[in-house]
Structure formats: C-alpha cells, structure tokens
Amino acid sequence: MSDLIELEVFNVTVDPTQQLPIVLLRAKEDEDWFLPIWIGAWEANAIAMRLQGITPPRPMTYELFTNVLSLLGGKLEKVVINDIRGETFYAQLHLNHGGTTHVVDSRPSDAINLALRLGAPIYASRHVMESSGFTRPKEDEEKKKLREWLESIKPEDFGRDAPKE
C-alpha cells in the first residue's frame, strides 16, 4: 500500500457555513474519497479559471512561475500535500532540474495551481487523507434503482385517466 494517494481536482466551491472557498480533491483510486482544503479567494479563482480553460490576457503569478521554470529548464514532477498541523495543510513541490530533484515547501493552493498549469500529478499522504478526508456515503441498491426509475419517467408515462386532485 502506497503512502501517497493520487488526487484530482473535483471542484472549487464555497463552504456554506463559513462562506470561504474550498478546493475539493478526489482520490483517483476511490472516487468516493475526498479531501477538502479551505483556500483564499484569489487562489480559488485561479484554479476555477484554469479548470474552465480561461487564459488571462497577461501572465498572472502562476503563469509567470511556469514560464520561468520552463525557461530555466526545470520540470514540476509532482506536488504532494504532505502534512496537516492544526487546521493548516502543508504541501511540497518536487522540482527537477538537471536530473536533480529539489523539494520546495508550498501552500497547497499554490501547488495545485502549478500542477494544473504544468500537468503534474497531485498527491496527498495517506496520513493526510485518513485524518482530513471524507468518504461520500454509498447509495444502497434499492435507493439507486428508485432514483434511476424516477429520473427515467416522462410525463407521457402517466395516463390521461389518472385521478385528479
């Protein structure tokens, strides 16, 4: 069992209670396992823009970083959300330059933004996922069949002679 869980960005949303932005990451190995990370509004907007394929007319901070990294011949190998202390998540950028990997401390929101722009995989340590992630409840088979049936019915499935209220 690997200590790293590969993730993908599932959504960027707003916490309904605190009205703060959240990036919601989902485990690739188990699509019902999620990791919510509260982030700043600017960082959330940058992630959302990237997910929607919006390119700013002028380079923003993340585009600037990716341009400089490319110019210097570096590569972002992966990002790892490696720890949580209190309510603060920690991440690392694994940068390769000239065959040597350098690990740089990062905020998760910055690491995720860079990973999205550079096509690098996003990971979290198993410890972080087990302590801060959550699993979406599985739908039981009867509820699933009922939901599918309700979604499939059309108005014409109900006869004209149905009793009126």
Could you read off the pLDDT tens digit of each residue along the chain, which spans 165 residues? 579 999 999 999 998 899 999 999 999 999 899 999 999 999 999 999 999 999 999 999 999 999 999 999 999 999 999 999 999 999 999 999 999 999 999 999 999 999 999 999 999 999 999 999 999 877 667 777 776 777 777 665 555 444 445
Tokens matching residue 13: 């949303």
Residue 156: its pLDDT value, please?
57
Residue 136: its pLDDT value, please?
83
Question: Is pTM, for the whole model, over 0.85?
Answer: no
CATH class held by domain 4-157: alpha beta
